[in-house]
Structure 1
């Protein structure tokens, strides 16, 4: 019977961008008791769902002045279609409160990191709040762009950072300089090569832009904890790369709970545990209740602890996915109790491809009269 240990760790709920919702009028606009009818009519003519705007951000409709036509002109100038413009203004109606001067300044700023207008429109469609932002952030945005350009990072990486983690560009550049320096220092101290550092940094930031918002001290503490567990410098560098910076979201206490639980449950010693973690770094950031639930599903299907230790990446799958895949494989004669758990792994596309091969193997004739006989069998 698996022992449940309570843990408050929840990585995924902290990943998303935390763009503050504006509940007050911007300095350049004033709040009126009645809705600004000109704004309502202009948005309605663009096929914007006014009911949705009223429900989620109705305060925008009470602002004056509003610059609906100017926002539309800018978006059309970038190549946005009517449906895209309506979607942008539904997601982020605050866009109409940006002054024309502010919009022009943002277009110029983003133009320095976006290859073309088409790419910029795509970014605005997905992250409108990152483009239509407060004018007070403009200087910080510019300084941060210059800083990342000084690192010779790819323009697409910089634009992705601005879009998905805009708060990291809205704050003073010193914060990002501190975190980047800490990451570079960790990379080199663990044996990383100076010549490869730019590529490593680009990959890390593109996979997890929110690493910039984390604490440099937290990163150092977590690496020291992992070193104390017995990981070598080379292994720590490997973990840092595989965890895509999510090691900054962990804490020594949460990792200790997870490692102790894994060691006790899988019945392995410390050296074996380290090998398991290197195969499946995700073990470090899954909470004990989550791991316990996933282990129980596998064990109830007849899978052994030895099989799980051999293919620990199966623990990255949710209980629903594991149960579904086990049943699918069972229908075509694959027994996870005796076969490799690798058959359960991978993305949906990977699994379906493997499942298709099993299906073909089952449907293939046992005897092919055209094929030569293999007498040695």
Structure 2
């Protein structure tokens, strides 16, 4: 036993003699670039936020913090904007001044002013500070979209929100654009309107370019087999939601089946409801279950929902909040139209305001007749 203890102690002594000559584990981790950290600190950047989310950037060298700040400042960005950009996308400091100047020149070909470009960088810094290897594809794609006579605002929005579509070969975008144009015209769309339709579609759903033409064809084929006519499909395309590429036949089949069963309608009636409310195509069953349940719990009937299916586009929270507000002015949603619930917050406030006037007007002039437009 004594020999075993001595052996263990010897091993321990030997280990303690060797360990001082070994580099501690932490020293294997690359240290932060103190110049970069200090410069970012001077620019009022929240270093703790950068460390937490993108700490690896602070360990890089070389970096171009001052040059990035100067570029943004020369374009009109103030200190707060510069700090916000570097906090949101610290990788920006890894771009060389030459790369940034090339990107600035490229973006100014589709931006109306440097102020507009600063606004884009503030919201989408990753779209501006891109690798130099993407430059040729970006240039080719800009030229292609300009040949489609799309205005600069649309092109710059596409570059900002869907930069991947500009970083890939132009041929891939050409294929999808041609598929969209052909589909629109084959369904009966007017030749002189295709540019406007395409511009609105790309503006609302820039990610449509990243989809495959096969997805478009498969979804339209499914809807046609479900009884939708060419005119119906053109109406759905003109809703400008880009649903034709975001979905797949399997999900639409499940959703339509649930909607028909819940609404208790025929297939023909369901198609008309879908034309009014395309949400029945792209909302999942759990979402629809929640929204039907939320409406019915307020006393609304299924017949009312069928008459105004667009109410299903509102979340349960919004619906219940609006119904509660309407009740405070004596509007009984159970006997009235659900149309008053629809629309944006601004639309609803206008409808709500009319009810307010109806209630208050007799207080000031009890004999004044109410206009039917109120």
Does TM-score exceed 0.5, indicating one fold? yes
Separation of aligned partners in 2, 1:77 and 1:128: 16
Any conservation in 2 of the 1:258–1:286 contact (CA below 8 Å)?
yes
Please say if 1:180 is aligned against 2:167: no
Evaluate the alpha carbon distance shift between residue 167 and residue 367 of structure 1 in structure 2; reply closer, same or farther with a 3 A threshold. Answer: closer
TM-score by length of 1: 0.88
1:9 is matched with which residue? none
Of the three residues 143, 146, 161, the one matched with 1:146 is 143
Please say if 1:316 is aligned against 2:313: yes
Separation of aligned partners in 2, 1:238 and 1:122: 35
Separation of aligned partners in 1, 2:366 and 2:146: 67
Separation of aligned partners in 2, 1:300 and 1:200: 39
1:268-297 deviations in Å (ceiling 9; x for gaps): 111111110111111110111111111112
After TM superposition, list the pairs within 5 Å mapping 1:1-377 onto structure 2.
33-365=30-362, 368=365, 371=368
1:115 deviates by 1.3
Using CA pairs under 8 Å that are at least 6 residues apart, name the structure with larger relative contact order, 1 or 2: 1
Evaluate the alpha carbon distance shift between residue 69 and residue 199 of structure 1 in structure 2; reply closer, same or farther with a 3 A threshold. Answer: same
Separation of aligned partners in 2, 1:310 and 1:339: 12
SS in 2 for 1:353: helix
Q: 4+ residue runs of structure 1 moved beyond 6 angstroms? A: none
Any conservation in 2 of the 1:208–1:246 contact (CA below 8 Å)?
no
What's the C-alpha RMSD, in Å, of the aligned pairs?
1.6
Separation of aligned partners in 1, 2:206 and 2:141: 14
Larger Rg: 2
1:359 deviates by 2.0
1:335 deviates by 1.0
Larger fraction in helix: 2
Separation of aligned partners in 2, 1:98 and 1:365: 67
SS in 2 for 1:149: helix
Q: Could you list the runs of 5+ residues in structure 1 that have no partner in the other structure? A: 1-30, 373-377
1:356 deviates by 2.0
Any conservation in 1 of the 2:76–2:114 contact (CA below 8 Å)?
yes
TM-score by length of 2: 0.88
